[in-house]
Amino acid sequence: MATTLKDVAEHAGVSVKTVSNVVNARPNISATMRSRVQASLDALGYRPNLAARQLKHGRGGFIALAVPQLDSPYFSELASHLAAQATRRGYILLMDITGADKEQERLALSGMSGQMVDGVILSPLGLTAAEIDARHSSVPLVLLGERAVPSGVDHISVDSVAASRAVGEFLLASGRRRLAAIGREPIQGTSSVRLEGFQSAVEDAGLRLPGKRIVRVRQFDREHGYSAMQQLLDLPEQERPDAVFAFNDLLAIGAMRACLERGVRIPEDIAVVGFDDIPEGRFHTPSLTTVAPDLAALASIAIDRLILTIEGGSQGPERIFVPWELRFRESTAT
């Protein structure tokens, strides 16, 4: 027999209305009371009745997550966190793989062509901020990532400028002077803001980040990291970098493989830093120093903001940065 709100209320020693307020994320509940009720919800395995919700509110209980790819460790881990948070709030997460295609992202913006979707979480790579702002759909939307930052939509991300600046400052403080970056893309977005932060640290130290040490890539994967590092290692010895910041961990892992094949020691000859803190980087030899975004917090905030809009409680769009930290491992140890 399914657990009811009354069962949860009796277990927590509160009113049914209080339980309902917690389940529906209404703001007039203290953190202590919310925690108490949530513990009872979890203990009893309560799941909202989606059919009843649809009849009462005209909603289906489905949220769409549209991302460029799912074979990336970053996006797969993020999707897992989002699915867990959606379930916690009584929603089901549907996946849409856009392949960074503009038309696919437009379909996502419209709520996956008008299917039973109450809201959309989109990580855009094809659409610009202006194109997103010009959308005609009224489907509630939350944006992730740094490709497009329109003014009229909730946008949740890591402050990549600040994080990348911290990478540069750390490498400089450790005595490195010939810094390089791997991951510049032809489009504006993640690579642009990470380069901005990294370059600002270098320039504030009175140094330069010459164009020959900023390597372009077409994709953020191991193969392109490998070939980008080969380019850097082919530079004359006096211009070869002594530290490399790869704009994601896959690029960094590919770069470290190139160093291994060329007999370049990490970190003695070249220090390497990545971004994302994927499991592969933690277990690589050497293990990878990286920027670790709080994906659990990102997922929780994104789901909560979207459901707040779905249920009519939003006070307007916000730009929200989630926590991150620089995790030091063997690829930069001296």
- CATH for 172: 3.40.50.2300
pLDDT grade, residue 135 (50/70/90)? Answer: confident
If asked whether residues 164 and 289 sit together in one domain, one would say: yes
Structural domain harbouring 70 = 51-158+296-322
Say which residue, 146 or 155, is predicted with more confidence.
155
If asked whether residues 100 and 117 sit together in one domain, one would say: yes
If asked whether residues 140 and 287 sit together in one domain, one would say: no
Residue 174 contacts residue 333 (beta carbons within 8 Å) = no
Q: Is residue 41 part of a domain?
A: no
Q: CA–CA separation, 285 vs 283, rounded Å?
A: 7
If asked whether residues 214 and 236 sit together in one domain, one would say: yes
If asked whether residues 153 and 176 sit together in one domain, one would say: no
Question: First and final CA of the chain: distance in angstroms?
Answer: 60
Sheet holding 154-158, edge to edge: 92-97, 62-67, 119-122, 141-144, 154-158, 319-322
pLDDT at 57 > cutoff 80: no
If asked whether residues 76 and 148 sit together in one domain, one would say: yes
How much is the pLDDT for 60? 66
The torsion defined by the Cα of 28, 32, 35 and 38, in degrees rounded to 10, comes to -50
How much is the pLDDT for 250? 97
Q: Report the number of distinct structural domains present in the chain.
A: 3
For residue 267, whether the previous peptide bond is cis, meaning omega lies within 30 degrees of 0, is yes
If asked whether residues 169 and 101 sit together in one domain, one would say: no
Q: Is the pTM of this model over 0.85?
A: no
Q: Is residue 190 part of a domain?
A: yes
pLDDT in tens, 281-305: 999 999 999 999 999 999 999 999 9
